[in-house]
Structure 1
């Protein structure tokens, strides 16, 4: 059973710059001066009215207190269309994913929400060895998307990979093999695990610059500069 409810109109939804359908990014060797995406997960229980009954940020301690408080306040106001189980309103435990775009202070400094979605929460992420044919191509850039069908045991039961023409087959295999190693916390309908979906968007490159780190001290400076 798949259940991916949509959010109904609420202040939480209106604050989003745009709604993405279960998308995230895994960026390799991103230039430090460029804007980058930060993914934040919340563990939420929706009651039979579709309102938030319980919520908590996943790995809250890694975020600046000011930022975490703001995210939790947004999450607390969320509302979905009540899910149904055998024709009756049901509770739903689900992950709520928020994607934020962080623009380094050198470009004015800003943090804005650019994505909002629901789905199983990743509990273990793993990336297999980067394709050798691509790693030997200096300056290569590309993107793939992979859709994982998450079973009730929290593993991918099937992975579908899509990419634009010209993307090496080795990159497609890399995305599929990586997701097959991931584990998830399944959504629950009336406290019973259900099947779900998780979509991973991977932007890859072989540039020489080091990845942009998301750390509390750097992020706090951006928050304070707003």
Structure 2
């Protein structure tokens, strides 16, 4: 099994969050299908969902992917090709004139998610305003592109409903498996899920401001 050293992250809430300000930074994840040659360098590469992104941004992704190098897998002691997804993670910070800056946060290799799903948000967590937590789901992606097993790693005391939620969500995902020497192989996909239940309790503005500040400490 191929075990790439990478992790995808997904932020989740119990309800849609309010729209961020126009100039707030936001994350962007871009996948590229890449064929690595026996020397570990890209031979072919295409950006997934290319029409969704600006042309200059896509060109930036291509340039960076073209420079990537991996340790090629071995079959019978000889290096062979690897067809795989390459994920690039960015933070985009827009500015007032319509431009902005792009920061590269990481590059990783793994099976490409082609169908994602989320289970129903845990009812006990949804009823607990202000709750935050995270859980790691580790999926063994089989040659047919589905999770053969899902292991959930969480901090001690994490509600069992959150563990079930992470497993049920990943069980519904479909991947484009990696290929070694032209043959599909098992690999590992790690998803770090952030959960946040919005606190919808209205603040009592009839209280004296100083008393409200003390209440928050």
Task: Identify whether the pair has TM-score above 0.5, normalized to the shorter chain.
Answer: yes
The aligned counterpart of 2:2 is 3
User: In 2 relative to 1, CA 208–102 (structure 1 residues): closer, same or farther, beyond 3 Å?
Assistant: farther
Unaligned runs of 5+ in 1: 6-20, 210-226
Residue 9 (structure 2) aligns with: 25
TM-score computed with the length of structure 2 as normaliser: 0.82
**2:38 aligned residue:** 48
The TM-score, its normalising length taken from structure 1, stands at: 0.79
The reply to whether residue 72 of structure 1 matches residue 35 of structure 2 is no
On the 8 A contact 1:119/1:197 being kept in 2, the answer is yes
Structure-1 residue corresponding to 2:177: 186
The equivalent of 1:90 in structure 2 is 80
Q: What pairs with 1:1-226 in structure 2 (closer than 5 Å)? A: 2-4=1-3, 21-29=5-13, 32-33=20-21, 35-103=25-93, 105=95, 110-207=101-198
SS of 2:163 mapped into structure 1: helix
Asked if structure 2 preserves the Cα contact closer than 8 Å seen for 1:35 and 1:104, the reply is yes
CA RMSD between the two structures: 2.0
Task: Name segments (4+ residues, structure 1) moved above 3 Å.
Answer: 33-36, 103-106
Distance 1:183 1:135 in 2: 27
Q: How many residues align structurally?
A: 192
What SS class does the counterpart of residue 198 from structure 2 fall into? coil
Q: 1 CA distance for matches of 2:166 and 2:122?
A: 10
The structure that has the greater radius of gyration is 2
Question: Offset of 1:166 from its aligned partner?
Answer: 3.3
